[in-house]
Amino acid sequence: MENIGILSHDPGLKPFKDHFKYRVGRYTDLLNLLDKHEGGLDEFAQGYLKFGFNREEDGIVYREWAPAAQEAQIVGDFNGWNGTNHCMEKNEFGIWSIKIYDLGGKPAISHNSRVKFRFKHGNGVWIDRIPAWIKYATVDPTKFAAPYDGVYWDPPPLERYEFKHPRPAKPNGPRVYEAHVGMSSSEPRVSSYREFADFVLPRIKENNYNTVQLMAIMEHSYYASFGYHVTNFFAVSSRSGTPEDLKYLIDKAHGLGLRVLMDVVHSHASNNVTDGLNGFDVGQSTQDSYFHTGDRGYHKLWDSRLFNYANWEVLRFLLSNIRWWLEEYQFDGFRFDGVTSMLYHHHGISMAFTGNYNEYFSEATDVDAVVYLMLANNLTHSILPDATVIAEDVSGMPGLGRPVFEGGIGFDYRLQMAIPDKWIDYLKNKSDEEWSMGEISWNLTNRRYSEKCISYAESHDQSIVGDKTIAFLLMDKEMYSGMSCLENASPVVERGIALHKMIHFITMALGGEGYLNFMGNEFGHPEWIDFPREGNGWSYDKCRRQWNLADTDHLRYKFLNAFDRAMNALDEKFSFLASSKQIVSWTGEEDKVIVFERGDLVFVFNFHPINTYDGYKVGCDLPGKYRVALDSDAGDFGGYGRVGHDIDHFTSPEGIPGVPETNFNNRPNSFKVLSPARTCVVYYKVDESKEKEKDDLVASVHEDVSARHVEEDSEGLAGREEENDIAVGKISKTEDDDIDTSKTEEDDVDSNKIEDLPVRGNRAKISD
């Protein structure tokens, strides 16, 4: 405690040493208590072996923590819902228990039969509740708004799913595909785990993602909550199938080399008293409840209940929940939802975080929740050292992504939640000419050194009803009529496709150490997500994914999908996400160009609406020969193929070696490129000793995405050339507008001055 490692990483934290000592002290004291009374953290987190229903040699033992109950029974199909002969006993810790002996050598409670916990509380009223530790819960689909029932799940050996594939290795740079199983069908209905495994997982693999993040796995009675109002924490969502079906999905993913993360919701719980954990709250004190009492136990914006993280049984419940999903279902990690709400007593409501450290370490900090998260991350990584754990936090609390042994909270990554907000602001409120290259670059790189982040341009949050995806913001109604390749693209569609590629790619390349995309956004899925509800006539029409749009060869959605595949393939080949080398050498407000290096790749983004730059000089670190690794203007991605992929770009030294101020944009070397308007091009350094091998790798990036691309016939190509001519008025040389493309050292292009550059319309073909 006197040598807290995190303080040496950031001297700015030293004034808050007492805060760190206090929370580390609380954490270590709790670990000591667990060692003394529960056999340690690992043993404590196996509560599911004690609570809920557990099979023993001659019967089934059921235990439930319900200190507020005066009497209790277990009822269900097995006893005709009459608990008179199945009364439970209570110990001094408020834990009720009963052993139900086998009948005729068979379990008295049949597999897949309904059960509930019946108890009488202080006012003498008997109520039925779903057991808190239930492994499965179902609802009668033929009855509107019917209550859920707990289900005793203990399939015979022949019906149990056995995992066949090992967990894939942890990637250095996670490329995460965020998905919702229920809405993954192209049909207007709820999809199943097995359908997702068989039809969607191969798509994810084909697009070169290495990680799947599954939403809405924990049971939630209200479908439109997107899975965030959890009612049954140990139960899989029965809408999409059984526990064995989910295991099939995860095993199938592992067989494809995909890791699987789960959205875990421990920040709050549904306020549903009939189906959920809130039903155990009958007005008792907070020490006898899962939740805080009064205002502290209620989230006014989410209309949900808030856990008491200082309660012993709450800790047992939540930590066991972590272990359950890791061990029973073989998940590879978690994305913790609502972490900002957990970290602060104000839950981030009406709080604009500025980065001032006093905002993070004060009486507003919920140390109970911080200590719980430290325990959860410690547990996760002790069970699965290669686990990936991501925090959904908008505040940017320092230390969130540092190890627990340093005094950090222990997450592997934090979501870069400010990035999509900035893109939405630009698309809604700024013209293209008003876009600031410096602000874009700063927003993408504004993260704590030594704490890794997952970047994303948009997630499910930007897709729900009331908001718009990036594709819809860019193209709106023209997505319905202007996406056919059989017709010339309108200026709106042409701009939309170009910027969609650029926004997602620069977010991936510059925004973090990992990347996330929500299901369907990779190909610009139109419209929004709207779950069935009374307001839309209980329609599933906008609660699905129209995969056919990306698969139809004459629709332009295929170009966005192909580019997404190529982005991921580029990282697969060059591992730039995992590289700590990230240098932004140029952000031009006049020419609208951003140049940066990630790893040994050089990225050139030209956001200018119309200006194409020939002979544009870009700085780089290493001398040598560079070639195109990825080009958003390639034909396979709906571009015009203006950049030559077989051209060698040789560097020239800049300034005095070792004296950055004499270099070009502080880079010791440079080379010249063609940069068409609204394009991004990546260059790699050719290792001439392994030149053929590297060329094959780069070729595979483009071949990977062009395998499904059908070449346009000559008539279609001619139509496109004609379209270009019409758009720019057929460029012709005169004495007045001659463009000299033969450059010498004496008349070299100054890339910093837009007026000195040869400018061409954004649809002009560069003949030379």
337 is an active site residue:
yes
State mean pLDDT over 442-448.
96
The CATH class, in words, for 46-152 is mainly beta
**Structure-block tokens of residue 663:** 């270099």
Quick: pLDDT tens for 558-611. 999 999 999 999 999 999 999 999 999 999 999 999 999 999 999 999 999 999
Residue 142 has pLDDT above 90, yes or no: no
CA atoms within 13 A on the CB side of 97: 12
Name every residue whose Cβ is closer than 8 Å to that of residue 39 and which is 6 or more positions away in sequence.
none
The distance of Cα 362 from the centroid of its chain, to the nearest Å, equals: 30
pLDDT at 753: 33
Distance CA 31, CA 25 (A): 10
pLDDT at 464: 74
Choice among 281, 337, 368, 494 that is catalytic: 337
pLDDT at 241: 98
- Any idea what DSSP says for residue 109? S
CATH architecture of the domain formed by 176-265? 2-Layer Sandwich (3.30)
User: In the block, which residue shows the tokens 């196996």?
Assistant: 46
pLDDT at 656: 87
pLDDT at 703: 64
Q: For CA atoms 481, 484, 488, 493, give the dihedral sign.
A: positive
State mean pLDDT over 308-334.
98
CATH architecture of the domain formed by 1-39+307-415? Alpha-Beta Barrel (3.20)
Quick: pLDDT tens for 200-241. 999 999 999 999 999 999 999 999 898 999 999 999 999 999
Selected residue with higher pLDDT from 692 and 761: 692
Residue whose C-alpha is closest to residue 69's, from 52, 47, 49, 91: 91
| Choice among 548-557, 574-583, 643-652, 748-757 with the minimum mean pLDDT | 748-757
pLDDT at 28: 97
pLDDT at 706: 58
| Choice among 318-332, 684-698, 739-753 with the minimum mean pLDDT | 739-753
Distance CA 215, CA 380 (A): 19
Strand partners, 175: 515
Which alpha helices (H) appear in 486-556, and where do they start and end? 491-510, 548-551
Same fold, 46-152 and 582-688: yes
Residue 737 has pLDDT above 60, yes or no: no
The distance of Cα 550 from the centroid of its chain, to the nearest Å, equals: 21
Alpha-carbon torsion angle 164, 166, 171, 175, nearest 10: 20
CATH architecture of the domain formed by 582-688? Sandwich (2.60)
State mean pLDDT over 705-731.
40
Choice among 128, 245, 275, 392 that is catalytic: 392
| Phi/psi of residue 250, nearest 5 degrees | -65, -40
Residue 694 has pLDDT above 80, yes or no: no
- How big is the chain, counted in residues? 768
CA atoms within 13 A on the CB side of 320: 23
User: In the block, which residue shows the tokens 């993913």?
Assistant: 253
Residue 412 has pLDDT above 80, yes or no: yes
pLDDT at 660: 80
Written as one string, the DSSP assignment of 708-743 is TPPPPPHHHHHHHHHHHHHHHT-----TTT------
Residue 103 has pLDDT above 80, yes or no: yes
pLDDT at 745: 35
pLDDT at 462: 76
The distance of Cα 204 from the centroid of its chain, to the nearest Å, equals: 14
Distance CA 348, CA 729 (A): 55
Laid out side by side, the sheet with 652-653 consists of: 613-620, 669-675, 652-653
Which pTM value belongs to this model?
0.90
Confidence of residue 528 (pLDDT cuts 50, 70, 90): confident
pLDDT at 301: 95
Distance CA 649, CA 602 (A): 12
432 is an active site residue:
no
Mean confidence (pLDDT) of the chain? 90
pLDDT at 439: 98
Cβ atoms of 253 and 333 closer than 8 Å = no
| Choice among 251-260, 454-463, 704-713, 727-736 with the minimum mean pLDDT | 727-736
Confidence of residue 701 (pLDDT cuts 50, 70, 90): low
Residue 37 has pLDDT above 50, yes or no: yes
Quick: pLDDT tens for 384-408. 999 999 999 999 999 999 999 999 9
pLDDT at 707: 56
State mean pLDDT over 26-43.
98
Distance CA 650, CA 646 (A): 13
State mean pLDDT over 323-350.
97
pLDDT at 143: 86
Residue 470 has pLDDT above 80, yes or no: yes
Quick: pLDDT tens for 49-72. 999 999 999 999 999 999 999 999
- Any idea what DSSP says for residue 234? E
Confidence of residue 442 (pLDDT cuts 50, 70, 90): very high
Quick: pLDDT tens for 479-521. 999 999 999 999 999 999 999 999 999 999 999 999 999 999 9
* Domain assignments of the chain as residue spans, ordered by start: 1-39+307-415, 46-152, 176-265, 582-688
Q: What value, to the nearest 5°, has the Cα angle with vertex 415 and ends 411 and 420? A: 175
Written as one string, the DSSP assignment of 38-73 is HSSHHHHTTGGGTSEEEEETTEEEEEEE-TT-SEEE
